[in-house]
Amino acid sequence: MKAIRIHEFGGPEVLRYEDVPDPQPRKDQILVRVKACAMNHLDLWVRKGLPGVKLPHILGSDIAGEIVESGEYITGFKAGQRVLLAPMHFCNHCAKCVAGLQNQCPEFTVLGNLVDGGNCELIAVPAVNVIPIPDNLDFNQAASVPLVFLTAWHMLVGRAGIRQGQTVLVLGGGSGVGIAAIQIAKLFHARVITTAGDEKKLGKARALGADHGINHYQQKISQEVRSITNKEGVDIVVEHVGAATWEESMKSLKPGGTIVTCGATTGSNAAFDLRFVFSRQLSFLGSYMGTMGELYEVLGHVFAGRLKPVVDRVFPLKEARAAHEYMEASQMFGKIVLAP
Ligand SMILES: [Zn+2]
């Protein structure tokens, strides 16, 4: 089959479109023909070099496609079925996995991170990863759902415990996680304030349900939040930006407020005054992907049309390099998809 592989870490030039052996599915695996694989910032981090990634390596976490064949031990699936894949790898038998806390499994990793991913034509995965999709979702849309909607659901629902009527600040409203978080917060009838780098993206974020937009290049986030909330601040900040926004995120919280973070795109060192944390009774929560139960929960809303994936642009798989360059230029609103 054809695949995009890296043989060394580096810039977009290390992505190679080449022939690799077809995967040989085990008896407990399903072979899926990849029709679409959506990109995430993780693809850029892995390409640049993350610890534990073995070379050569196939990138890509968010996969939708058709079942080619199921292993002997598997029942309940049939060839030709349209599916998406849970974008994670876990052992499925440790105490955490059987308790439904797959993202705390010692073997947990994201597809395309420590295990090969979906920038290829065929992939073999355990049946637990394979989830049928309804006909009203095309492959590009389906591939645009799993990682970001699961991440945002775990952040807001699993970790921060969002309640109806709260006020939520979603940083980077044009990012994959931002687009998902805005919609999930609105599902809980929250008031949503979001940020983006230009008016066009803010307009699109409003169209998804955001009540207020802040241009983070022209306005100071915490000041705008204070004025929008009548000096109260927000209940929850959805953080994934990191060093560049951490202080503004803290200052945007109301007393008792929560920052939930799943990433640090601009840098991972944040400094803060502990007195500010205890006197205002703030909570800082870490969040990483989510559980299979949460994935099914959020997919229920996607399949029913209450949450909508946003596809920015589809590139042919062999043009992965152009897709990486496009993502690094940060001009997208929504997901970039690679289609074999
Ligand atoms: Zn496990």
Ligand 1 centre to CA of 121 (Å) is 28
What pLDDT is attached to residue 331?
Answer: 87
DSSP structural state of residue 137: S
Ligand 1 centre to CA of 301 (Å) is 27
Ligand 1 centre to CA of 233 (Å) is 39
Low-confidence ranges of the chain (pLDDT < 70): none
Ligand 1 centre to CA of 134 (Å) is 29
Ligand 1 centre to CA of 61 (Å) is 19
Q: How far is CA 330 from the centre of its chain?
A: 16
**pTM, to two decimals:** 0.97
Instruction: Cite the DSSP H helix spans in 111-245.
Output: 139-143, 146-153, 176-187, 199-207, 221-228
Say if residues 83 and 65 touch (Cβ distance below 8 Å): yes
Ligand 1 centre to CA of 102 (Å) is 6
What pLDDT is attached to residue 72?
Answer: 96
Per the rule left: phi > 0, alpha: psi between -120 and 50, beta: everything else, 271 is beta
Give the DSSP letter string of 211-232: SEEEETTTS-HHHHHHHHTTT-
What pLDDT is attached to residue 22?
Answer: 97
Q: Per residue in 104-140, pLDDT tens?
A: 999 999 999 999 999 999 999 999 999 999 999 999 9
Ligand 1 centre to CA of 302 (Å) is 27
Ligand 1 centre to CA of 213 (Å) is 40
Cβ-defined contacts of 105-112 (< 8 Å, 24+): 108/289, 110/42, 110/61, 110/147, 110/289, 111/60, 111/61, 111/63, 111/85, 111/87, 112/42, 112/43, 112/46, 112/58, 112/59, 112/60, 112/61, 112/87
